[in-house]
Structure 1
Amino acid sequence: MSDDDTTAPAPNPTSEENRHASWLELFFDLVAVAGVAQIAHLLHGVPDVSDLGLYALLFLAFWTAWICFTLYANVAYENTHVRTVLAAMFGMAVMAAAVPGVHEGDDQHARVFALAYILIRALASRAWQHRRQILVDWPAAQMSLGVIPWTVSLWAHDPLRHWLWALGIALDLYVTFAVSARDLVEHQEARERRGDRPARRGSAGSTSFARSQTEHLSERLGLFVLIVLGEGVAQVVAATSDAEWDKQLYALAVAAFFLLATLWALSFGHGYAGVPHLAAGVLPARAALPLHCFVSGCLAALAAALGAAAEHLETLPDATRWLLCSSLAGYFLLSGIAWLGRAGRERRWLLCVALPCCVLPLLLAAFGAHVRTVTVVWLLVLIALWPILYERRSSLGRLSARKRRDR
């Protein structure tokens, strides 16, 4: 068997429900650990607006590269080409290694980052062409429109380079939401009829649709969120290991752990695929995947802020306090968006839970300049706990009302 025909070994599932991430997929996700850690380090110290913009841009690029091959392995399953996935894994590792140089404005590192991204996208497009399938859930995974600005950026310098990268990401989002899968199929079939792209030997005569397998994809998305939460723990551990251990540090470490544990409970016990208050099957993948990306980005930024908090035990610098509080506010804003798709939703939930959880962290950021660091983090813990306590109280109220009716 040739390298091109090598596929990832996996058991044949009897149903979609008992399919889990393969060893190859788990190995691939380890690269996400390195990438998230490198990108989160951009927010160390006292980040300014340019640092936040670069963080968002690189995180979106890294997540896009990751989701392209996550969806490929999800659909291809036992026909996943090992060599293709390993090549993408190496490219993502190169992207992660180049992040510090990109932050420092090094042209060589920036070009390497862009070139690795371009090659990963080309690999993803080639993989789908080989399968002769159109991915309905994320058509940008196989289209090159968003890659064009990245290619042009190889000859550009900062800040134009960064604006071209942002344009590429924006074009990918446009393709995802504006271009239907049927349009893509008709376009490709028209090209084949003109002879622009002859069918591969041994392939089917027409292009087919491909959809992701929901349960397996939710597992992969959840694993990515776990990686990001784990990065938060790693940030706190690294910061506290070098500091002088005293009562303030102990209290901050406990508060940071409680905050991360509460967000874990919200994302998985009260959410789906790592997105809080998202219900299975409510939103199409085209809408759920951007939610997952932005939730992960907020959690990674919060993780970096927690690491910085351990270095400022008295009071937080303004930039760090705003990063910590606005990351949590963004997390709950996305939670509210996910909740809007739930069946049987109550309008009261928006006023009693979503609104205060978005507003209170921002008020704390605006007026908490003289609040001690430990107090800030514990207040954020209380805010994060409120949706869980509210839902528990509502459940107990409904149970009591049902019992009274039964009597």
Structure 2
Amino acid sequence: MSDDDTAAAAPRATSEENRHASWLELFFDLVAVAGVAQIAHLLHGVPDVSDLGLYALLFLAFWTAWIVFTLYANVASEHTHVRTVLLAMFGMAVMAAAVPGVHEGDDQHARVFALAYVLIRGLANRAWQHRRQILVDWPAAQMSLGVIPWVVSLWAHDPMRHWLWALGIALDLYVTFAVSARDIVEHQEARERHDDRPARRGSEASPSLARSQAEHLSERLGLFVLIVLGEGVAQVVEGLSDAEWDKQLYMLAVAAFVLLATLWSLSFGHGYAGVPHLAAGVLPARAALPLHCFVSGCLAALAAALGAAAEHLETLPDATRWLLCASLAGYFLLSGLAWLGRAERERRWLLSVALPCCVLPLMLAAFGGRVRTVGVVWLLVLITLWPTLYERRAAKSPEGAVRTGS
């Protein structure tokens, strides 16, 4: 084993380290900027159901590729292999570049996207093997079951190729929730009890169990959400730059900015790791990570819809209005799920905040066909402001101790 590999296999300190994202990790996250932008562009124009399905599929694949190496760097810390991360970064850049061709049904681009994904997952598996560690928080990061359909898809065509990709993502989710930490620990203990090769154990230690460093991981997850919100700003700027500037456009620009700023406040001022109303430590990583993925996906879809709004200043097309409103409703639905994980919670908050914030955007989508675009966005701003206003009012109430999920 080389000196480089020996360093990578060094045991991780079990205590929490108060560290921040490294320059390498921040450089790696730049690929997420490009990937989110490319995938969000799939929802430009007037997206249909197939566009939404492809968007969800590619976003899940890209987020999975990002999270497996985010977790690797999180656990490996200063022992992270720079070359490994840079290779993964290049693979994700290739995935991002192939997205438009995948949307257009180009076989070559689709195969390149799938091949890059397979190689990234294989690279992650190899990195964990070198570390001789088993990641308890996200078993799919180093298991290959979900990659098999992607390998098969290299010889398939649309739409079968997309169904195979969806199967691969579903298998990853199954592994994540079906393989518990106890199963991993018991399997490891049984393996060590029945290992009758002490000489080999002395020369090459059995794999150890590893857990993510919570504070550092929350920072990386929060940075990803910031990237998505930044994409929302970029989409709005792009849409406004090509439109004729008038009073109506100014009002829309202000509304879009206030909406994104309010979502930022909910995700970080009233949430954790970018997930609104999630508190630190109330959910295990294998439950919090899917929440983060779906929240990010909703925000990226909302960003695409805001960009399209600038192109339809009179009224929004039905598909765009549904995308905008349903994305916000999904965001608040996930916020409610995060709030349910709290040990202390009030049913009053669920009925007074979470439920209306989920239902009202859908009602606006269904019955707001004649509402001007600016009016739709400002109504969504009011809905988004309601959780913060409710919590401030509750804090000033005579009870003072009412738990509102903040």
Alignment of 1:1-400 (within 5 A): 4-5=4-5, 16=16, 18-184=18-184, 190=191, 203-204=204-205, 206-398=206-398
Report the residue type matching 2:155 in the other structure.
Answer: W
State the shift of 1:181 in Å: 3.9
Q: Is the 8 A contact 1:3 1:83 kept in 2?
A: no
Q: Under a length normalisation based on structure 2, what TM-score does the superposition of the two structures give?
A: 0.92
Task: Give CA deviations for 1:33-55 in whole Å, capped at 9, x if unaligned.
Answer: 00000000000000000000000
Task: Give CA deviations for 1:264-318 in whole Å, capped at 9, x if unaligned.
Answer: 0000000000000000000000100000000000000000000000000000000
Report the residue type matching 1:298 in the other structure.
Answer: C
Which range moves more in the overlay, 223-232 or 339-348?
A: 339-348
State the shift of 1:132 in Å: 1.0
Q: Is the 8 A contact 2:32 2:66 kept in 1?
A: yes
State the shift of 1:397 in Å: 1.1
Report the residue type matching 2:173 in the other structure.
Answer: L
CA distance in 1, matches of 2:230, 2:193: 47
Q: Is the 8 A contact 1:312 1:373 kept in 2?
A: yes
Q: Is the 8 A contact 1:282 1:341 kept in 2?
A: yes
Question: Using a 3 Å threshold, how does the CA distance of structure 1 residues 110 and 79 change in structure 2: closer, same or farther?
Answer: same
Task: Give CA deviations for 1:45-103 in whole Å, capped at 9, x if unaligned.
Answer: 00000000000000000000000000000000011000100000000000000000000
Q: Is the 8 A contact 1:185 1:207 kept in 2?
A: no
CA distance in 2, matches of 1:366, 1:353: 20
Task: Give CA deviations for 1:169-216 in whole Å, capped at 9, x if unaligned.
Answer: 000000000012454466678599799xx9799642x22110000000
Task: Give CA deviations for 1:97-140 in whole Å, capped at 9, x if unaligned.
Answer: 00000000000000000000000000111111111111010000
Q: Is the 8 A contact 2:17 2:213 kept in 1?
A: no
State the shift of 1:7 in Å: 7.5
CA distance in 1, matches of 2:124, 2:192: 20
Task: Give CA deviations for 1:375-396 in whole Å, capped at 9, x if unaligned.
Answer: 0000000000000000111111
Q: Is the 8 A contact 2:329 2:359 kept in 1?
A: yes
Q: Which runs of 5+ in 2 are unaligned?
A: none
Question: Using a 3 Å threshold, how does the CA distance of structure 1 residues 2 and 244 change in structure 2: closer, same or farther?
Answer: farther
Q: Is the 8 A contact 1:134 1:181 kept in 2?
A: no
Which range moves more in the overlay, 180-189 or 131-140?
A: 180-189
Report the residue type matching 2:307 in the other structure.
Answer: G
Question: Using a 3 Å threshold, how does the CA distance of structure 1 residues 199 and 244 change in structure 2: closer, same or farther?
Answer: farther
Question: Using a 3 Å threshold, how does the CA distance of structure 1 residues 95 and 336 change in structure 2: closer, same or farther?
Answer: same
Classify the secondary structure of the residue corresponding to 1:146.
helix
CA distance in 2, matches of 1:21, 1:193: 40
Classify the secondary structure of the residue corresponding to 2:397.
helix
Question: Using a 3 Å threshold, how does the CA distance of structure 1 residues 25 and 354 change in structure 2: closer, same or farther?
Answer: same
Report the residue type matching 1:112 in the other structure.
Answer: V
Q: Is the 8 A contact 1:238 1:307 kept in 2?
A: yes
CA distance in 1, matches of 2:200, 2:325: 53
CA distance in 2, matches of 1:237, 1:199: 60
Q: Is the 8 A contact 2:136 2:184 kept in 1?
A: no
Question: Using a 3 Å threshold, how does the CA distance of structure 1 residues 391 and 155 change in structure 2: closer, same or farther?
Answer: same
Identical-residue share of aligned pairs (%): 87
Report the residue type matching 1:97 in the other structure.
Answer: A
| Count of aligned pairs between the two proteins | 396
Report the residue type matching 2:26 in the other structure.
Answer: L
Q: Is the 8 A contact 1:140 1:173 kept in 2?
A: yes
Q: Is the 8 A contact 1:135 1:181 kept in 2?
A: no
State the shift of 1:14 in Å: 12
Q: Is the 8 A contact 1:6 1:81 kept in 2?
A: no
Report the residue type matching 1:349 in the other structure.
Answer: W
Q: Is the 8 A contact 1:6 1:83 kept in 2?
A: no
State the shift of 1:341 in Å: 1.2
Q: Is the 8 A contact 2:308 2:320 kept in 1?
A: yes
Q: Is the 8 A contact 2:5 2:130 kept in 1?
A: no
Classify the secondary structure of the residue corresponding to 1:18.
coil
Classify the secondary structure of the residue corresponding to 2:387.
helix
Report the residue type matching 1:315 in the other structure.
Answer: T
CA distance in 2, matches of 1:55, 1:146: 19
Question: Using a 3 Å threshold, how does the CA distance of structure 1 residues 114 and 276 change in structure 2: closer, same or farther?
Answer: same
Classify the secondary structure of the residue corresponding to 1:279.
coil
State the shift of 1:18 in Å: 2.8
Question: Using a 3 Å threshold, how does the CA distance of structure 1 residues 185 and 132 change in structure 2: closer, same or farther?
Answer: farther
CA distance in 1, matches of 2:170, 2:269: 32
CA-based RMSD: 2.5
Q: Is the 8 A contact 1:135 1:209 kept in 2?
A: yes
Report the residue type matching 2:388 in the other structure.
Answer: I
CA distance in 2, matches of 1:302, 1:33: 16
Report the residue type matching 2:212 in the other structure.
Answer: S
CA distance in 2, matches of 1:350, 1:79: 44
CA distance in 1, matches of 2:394, 2:65: 41
CA distance in 2, matches of 1:202, 1:33: 43
